[in-house]
Structure 1
Amino acid sequence: MNKNFFEHIAHAFEIPLRNSVLIFSLILLIILLAPILLRKIKIPGIIGLILSGVIIGPHGLNILERSSAVDLFSTIGLLYIMFIAGLELDMNEFRKTRHKSLVFGFFTFIIPIIIGYPVCYYVLGFDVGSSILVSSMFATHTLVAYPVVNSYGISKNQAVAITIGGTILTDTAVLIILAVIVGSSQGELDQQFWIRLTISFAVFLGIMFGIIPKIAKWFFQRVESEKTSHYIFVLFIVFFAAFIAEVSGLEPIIGAFVAGLALNKFIPHSSALMNRIEFIGNAIFIPFFLISVGMIVDIKVLYKGPEALIVAGTLTLVAVCGKWIAAWFTQISFKYSAAQRQVIFGLSSAHAAATLAIIMVGYANDIIDENVLNGTIVLILVTCIVASIATEAASKKVVLAGDQDAVTEEKDVLGDEHILVPIANLNNMEILLDFATMIKNKKSPHPVTILSVVPNNELAEENLKKAKKNLDSTAKYASGSEVEVNMMATIDYNIAGGISRASREIMADSILLGWPSQVGIIEKMVGEKTESILNRTDINIFMCHFGKPFVSNDRITLVCPPMAEDEKGFSYWLNKIARFALELTLPISCIANIRSESAILAYFKRNKISCNIKFVLHKEWDDLATIKHYVKDTDLLIFVSARIGEVSYNREFDGIPKKLGRKYENNNRILIYPSRRPTSTFDNYDEVSAMSVNRGYSHLQKMGRGLGSILKIKNKGKFNDQ
């Protein structure tokens, strides 16, 4: 029995490994240890995974062989890299830089071909077809180093944006050339071939940008609470897009990238869904792909004679030089820094996915020989290592230069930002927390504080226990999107007093409230809760009504009254709206006067904010009903109000929550009260003085309007009598 047991154990560990569970365990161990061990000697984790693949692969120690399971996970990882690249692409920045992406795409496509073709034809002695195929291979690049720029937080830098944009252009062009070369080698390069390719490509784009976004919008609206279903739906779209791209005669990686572009506006970058997509990809699928790339490499080809070494060395040198020259031309054209040039070179110099696809197809169709195939494998290993090291070094330089974020912030918004979210209705909790996550400054060390205020009565202790239990469910939801939250429950005789006291305790910069509900006669006599909070605090307040998911909104309509730019909180709320618009990839339609327009554009330019914003000049601010025809049902309405007595305050702002709720009941809406300068230096008397002064001012205004209307009527009567 012991003999059989040991034979069973020995059989399980026979090389190459056959047991699927053991294979999976070994790969997970490599994914765990390779980055940790190599980080000690300052080698990027990507290189560790590729080298691990070389060591354990069939051409190394032969511990693993390329099985169907490894190939499947590798394919998923490759598609995942392209999908995340499309998903992470800042569409507003891409629209601004699309011409630069075209220029870079042209450089990174044409320069390697111009260098590569003469080298292949005259130096290496290839025929015309082989020379065109191999030189077009030099033009491709795979975003193997993209996880590096992502981890350093520079994925929205303009250099990264144009490189990603150029990737899809050059890879698409090269893969079309591949289809043409293969068709030519098989004698199929006729009129029917071109018609079929054109029609299939047009149908593919029509499905991806015409049908998929509508299906995605419908799904995310209808299946709002099923978070697992959201992730499965996204995966389905990625693989379906890859499949229809393949059917259309393109490579699946093009389909995955286009799927990322199609779903870009439906998945905010700070959302829980985005966190799940990146987490699973970076933890499992992408490392699998990198290990599988290493498993292809056959180091032994270098010992098969000088010809293999010459081909491998020449191909690698031409590939690296071509991409560096393209990056240099791009730097000169757009006056980028040396660090940005290095980022472009690092991202575009790795050859893996499309390169491998081209060479494998060329080898299968007898267009190239074994020496070129083996030389290309060495090229893949070397360029992946060069790309990883170059991108890592360049990313550090970009971060040190302070260029890591697309939305840089002014000093008054930076630093110790603290957001307070009082929770009254658990049904609104998730979407309000999502909003807080999207607008929060990512550099702030403070968590989002979730507050529950319990009335101080005979049931206070029992209600406090319930409140803490509710806060636990909020914390569980927050952990899904890796949002750091601070739970706070307090007892107070007055809910508004509890909120204002808590905001002072944590030195909050803003309070996010749910939309005020209808109040009874008692509340009106004592004072409404939201009005009390306004009177008791000086900080920014956002009153939010999110009755529909954000994917239902087609744009943000911002109502910015005259002199709003003169309020203390102007830069704060404008920065938050910019962040929100960028997260949702929504354009902004701003209703304002010329002075406010100039102030907003100056702020955006000063802080390098790439929002897609258009202005509607408006003059009739004494009647807010005139803005109704600017607002559509699919708009997310943001109205900038002001506290009584502030410089931008207008008497039309009286009862503004009720007015907006009545006129725009079908819209998601946010009402902003900018921060103001403190009303008193005596903290103990702040609440009393603010409330009494503001209420007195309000009553005087109302009396003045009443007297004014009476005098108008009397004067009108006298005039008629005359």
Structure 2
Amino acid sequence: MLLNVSFSTEGEPLFVFGVIMLIILLSQVFLQRLRIPSLVGYILSGVALGPEGFGLFNPEGGIALLGAAGLLYIMFTAGLELNLGEFRKKTGHSLLFGFFTFILPLAIGYPVCLYLLHLKPLGALLVSSMFSTHTLVAYPIVMRYKLQKNEAVATAVGGTIFTDTAVLLLLAFIVAFHEGKGGSSEMIKIALLALTMVAFILLVYPKLGRWFFRHNSEDRTSGMVFLLTLMFAAGILSKLIGLEPIIGAFLAGISLNRQVAGNLILHQRVEFLGASLFIPFFLISVGMVVDLKLLLGGTFAWYVAGLLTAVALLGKWLAAWMSQKLLFYSPLQRKLIFGLSSSHAAATIAVIFIGYKIGLIDIHILNGTILLILATCLVATMVTESAARKIAIQEVENTTEIPARPDRVLVPIANPATAGRLIEAALAFRDKTSDKESVFALALIEENGPGFEDRLRQTRKFLNDIAVAHAEHEKYLRTLMKIDINVVSGIIKTMKEISASHLVLGWGGLPTTADRLFGNLLERIISEVPEMIIVTRHRQPIHNFNTIKLWVPPNAEYETGFFSLARKIIEIAFSVQARLEIYSEKNLSDYFSLISQRTRISCECKFIPINTWNEGVLNKPKAESQDTLFVYVMARRGTLSFHNIHEELPHFLNSLPDYISFMVIYPEQSPIMRHSGVIPAEEIFNTPLTSRFSKIRKKFHKIFSFLRLNH
């Protein structure tokens, strides 16, 4: 030991836990300022605290338990973080790069490990497979420059899925051979069991996830417990069939990817639990087995680390170069792919640590891998930063920017049972690039009527409960309370006061008899509010939908606010990784591709033509459509895309089964008209009352015409 401390920590779990939590805090605060990944800081902390450092802790007991859980968790989150939408969009490119980034480092690394590091064949194969893994440490840089849509990024992300999965499967066979299960019958058995497990997790887990979050979306804690349960269950299943538990955990992460990616609150909790507990404990436990004396006492450890790092970077550079030549990418895109794929972290340390535990590699390789992680993470961030900045400048020069207009969403709430769903919809339509308040939850109190003081007190409590329930969104969400003569007047005034760009309302069903005569709340708001109006009835969290079906009437693309509407739908589909299907008479593929290009948001879009709008839009959804969100583009009377069928649509929607979720969206109307001080003629003559009298007059006219013809 470097320092013999006589203080005994045996039987003092409180002391152990407290010191390690302090180490986690210091690593996050100070090392981030030095631009050193916290992952490296945790490992170095483990080195200092372990038997070969100051000797404060022994990597057994509670540390080993949490470390084992952290090993599963780090691979589980690796699966959760992958962008499966990008993989599906560029499957061919991803598979090609995935093949190169797996096979080239493996082919280069194996002879190096065998002849220069003098490892046994199985050990050499395991270490060389470690070169094939990569972790997207530099991906936040890509997000900062908004390059997620770039083909090179999609290729790198998809390649990560392929190569990490291939390495973990190869690890299973390496471990099997090492344990004496290398016979042909044993290998066939392991392969069949592995395929069965993969099929079970990838097919059953997503259905379990959708079912659970559909029925438990309001519970704030059970979602996280559910994820942990499935993670450990997958690890146990993997262990039972003779594979490493991290393989099951990784597959569980991939299978639950959609449920977590679209759920901001759950995603934050997954990150929090991993960053603050499981992953740090695992990395600290890894550091505790590192022999610091070997690093400081000679040159061999540095020789091993330098050789490992050189092979890792060379293999990834060759994979990026080969992909660039075959996929006709630019040199900057090659540089970006290399930057994203050159960092080794999660899967790397998992594979090497398992190899060390089962005796395939020695402490020199483990020590060298720690230095490799530090070096490759630094190289990856620098290369990605340089390439991303230059590509972003090129894209700005070649792209017409959309005028910046802050999105401010107003959502009136009154019923505690539906307020959560309405606020969720409002958050989905907010500007994701802004950190400012952008969603305003409005509670209105009519000044007329009995019990005003009681209603005032109840409303204040209601808004306080809303703020507490949505504390995770306090940066974006603000509650408002207004007193007005009626609801419509209060909504209209508040829209003007906060300069709202969107209004979210709940579906209220069919109007009453009085509503038909004098106009219901929605009709009165539509006639007075020119901004985008979203009327929603979604029966489960938005992130649970795997398909969004957008119904677009003829001429809707000529409406002033349709571009903004389409952009929002693309953003939502992208954020929840849902497939977007567009139903319209006219092929709008080029229109949506243009929006995707200008906003730099990739989305899996599919155009489905319909013969006539009137027939197609009234087709009832199938029974299995509960995981589909139907979005109907409506139109105000007198506008370009208005059709008589729009008046029948509310009756059709009201007849749908209760489990069907839908949104009705009215695009924003011309801002030129709105700010000119001129009231459009259709808004004067098409008030709810005159509109109803007009319909009655037309019906009487038809009756009299029929009588005259048959007289």
Give TM-score, length-normalised by structure 2: 0.87
State whether residues 519 and 689 of structure 2, in contact with CA within 8 Å, keep that contact through their aligned partners in structure 1: no
Corresponding letter in the other structure for 2:550: L
- Residue matched to 2:550: 558
- Residue matched to 2:440: 449
SS in structure 1 of the partner of residue 53 of structure 2: coil
* C-alpha spacing 1:307/1:462, structure 2 compared with 1 (3 Å): closer
Corresponding letter in the other structure for 1:390: A
Structure 1 distance, partners of 2:71, 2:616, is 53
Deviates more, 1:12-21 or 1:680-689: 680-689
* C-alpha spacing 1:164/1:201, structure 2 compared with 1 (3 Å): farther
SS in structure 1 of the partner of residue 256 of structure 2: helix
- Cα deviation 1:306-360 (Å, max 9, x = unaligned): 5444334323322232233333434444455667655644554444555455555
SS in structure 2 of the partner of residue 267 of structure 1: helix
- Residue matched to 2:573: 581
Structure 1 distance, partners of 2:79, 2:175, is 28
- Residue matched to 1:530: 522
| Superposed displacement of residue 511, structure 1 | 0.2
Q: How does 1:293-442 map onto structure 2 within 5 Å?
A: 293-302=286-295, 305-334=298-327, 341=334, 344-351=337-344, 354-356=347-349, 358-359=351-352, 368=361, 370=362, 373-388=363-378, 390-391=380-381, 394-395=384-385, 398=388, 402=392, 414-442=404-432
- Cα deviation 1:656-676 (Å, max 9, x = unaligned): 333321245541111111110
Corresponding letter in the other structure for 1:190: G
* C-alpha spacing 1:353/1:485, structure 2 compared with 1 (3 Å): closer
- Residue matched to 1:653: 646
1:55 aligned to 2:48?
yes
Corresponding letter in the other structure for 1:269: G
State whether residues 206 and 255 of structure 2, in contact with CA within 8 Å, keep that contact through their aligned partners in structure 1: yes
For residue 478 of structure 1, the aligned residue among 448, 456, 470 is 470
| Superposed displacement of residue 385, structure 1 | 4.1
- Residue matched to 2:695: 702
For residue 237 of structure 2, the aligned residue among 226, 231, 244 is 244
- Residue matched to 2:457: 465
Structure 1 distance, partners of 2:55, 2:457, is 60
Structure 1 distance, partners of 2:149, 2:70, is 22
State whether residues 152 and 404 of structure 1, in contact with CA within 8 Å, keep that contact through their aligned partners in structure 2: no
SS in structure 1 of the partner of residue 550 of structure 2: strand
State whether residues 533 and 666 of structure 2, in contact with CA within 8 Å, keep that contact through their aligned partners in structure 1: yes
- Residue matched to 1:135: 128
How many percent of aligned residue pairs carry the same amino acid? Answer: 35
State whether residues 73 and 285 of structure 1, in contact with CA within 8 Å, keep that contact through their aligned partners in structure 2: yes
Structure 1 distance, partners of 2:53, 2:493, is 66
- Residue matched to 1:8: none
SS in structure 2 of the partner of residue 236 of structure 1: helix
- Residue matched to 2:536: 544
| Superposed displacement of residue 85, structure 1 | 3.1
Corresponding letter in the other structure for 1:447: S
Deviates more, 1:604-613 or 1:700-709: 700-709
Structure 1 distance, partners of 2:533, 2:100, is 49
* C-alpha spacing 1:656/1:551, structure 2 compared with 1 (3 Å): same
1:500 aligned to 2:498?
no
* C-alpha spacing 1:54/1:601, structure 2 compared with 1 (3 Å): same
* C-alpha spacing 1:318/1:484, structure 2 compared with 1 (3 Å): same
- Residue matched to 1:32: 25
Deviates more, 1:463-472 or 1:394-403: 394-403
- Residue matched to 1:4: none
* C-alpha spacing 1:55/1:343, structure 2 compared with 1 (3 Å): farther
* C-alpha spacing 1:659/1:13, structure 2 compared with 1 (3 Å): farther
| Superposed displacement of residue 204, structure 1 | 0.6
* C-alpha spacing 1:48/1:414, structure 2 compared with 1 (3 Å): farther
Give TM-score, length-normalised by structure 1: 0.86
| Superposed displacement of residue 569, structure 1 | 1.0
State whether residues 63 and 285 of structure 2, in contact with CA within 8 Å, keep that contact through their aligned partners in structure 1: yes
Deviates more, 1:40-49 or 1:469-478: 40-49
For residue 80 of structure 1, the aligned residue among 73, 86, 97 is 73
For residue 228 of structure 2, the aligned residue among 223, 235, 239 is 235
Structure 2 distance, partners of 1:348, 1:670, is 40
- Residue matched to 1:113: 106
Corresponding letter in the other structure for 1:239: F
Structure 2 distance, partners of 1:292, 1:378, is 16
SS in structure 1 of the partner of residue 619 of structure 2: helix
* C-alpha spacing 1:184/1:623, structure 2 compared with 1 (3 Å): closer
Corresponding letter in the other structure for 1:586: A
* C-alpha spacing 1:521/1:135, structure 2 compared with 1 (3 Å): closer
* C-alpha spacing 1:434/1:152, structure 2 compared with 1 (3 Å): farther
Corresponding letter in the other structure for 1:457: N
* C-alpha spacing 1:377/1:166, structure 2 compared with 1 (3 Å): farther
Q: How does 1:504-519 map onto structure 2 within 5 Å?
A: 504-519=496-511
Any gaps of 5 or more consecutive residues in structure 2?
none
- CA RMSD of superposed structures (Å): 3.7
Deviates more, 1:213-222 or 1:557-566: 213-222
For residue 582 of structure 2, the aligned residue among 578, 590, 614 is 590
Structure 2 distance, partners of 1:715, 1:268, is 65
- Residue matched to 1:220: 213
State whether residues 558 and 637 of structure 1, in contact with CA within 8 Å, keep that contact through their aligned partners in structure 2: yes
Structure 1 distance, partners of 2:14, 2:390, is 44
Q: How many equivalent pairs are there?
A: 703
Any gaps of 5 or more consecutive residues in structure 1?
1-10
- Cα deviation 1:405-438 (Å, max 9, x = unaligned): 9xx9985574411000011322111111112222
- Cα deviation 1:62-96 (Å, max 9, x = unaligned): 23331232233333333333323322333322201
* C-alpha spacing 1:187/1:569, structure 2 compared with 1 (3 Å): same
Corresponding letter in the other structure for 1:386: T
Deviates more, 1:476-485 or 1:503-512: 476-485
State whether residues 327 and 344 of structure 1, in contact with CA within 8 Å, keep that contact through their aligned partners in structure 2: yes
- Cα deviation 1:101-124 (Å, max 9, x = unaligned): 222221222111222233234444
* C-alpha spacing 1:17/1:671, structure 2 compared with 1 (3 Å): same
- Cα deviation 1:459-511 (Å, max 9, x = unaligned): 44442332222111111122135552111111111211110110011111110
- Cα deviation 1:44-74 (Å, max 9, x = unaligned): 4443333333333332222333123223333
SS in structure 2 of the partner of residue 253 of structure 1: helix
Structure 2 distance, partners of 1:73, 1:156, is 38
- Residue matched to 2:620: 628
| Superposed displacement of residue 13, structure 1 | 7.7
Corresponding letter in the other structure for 2:191: T
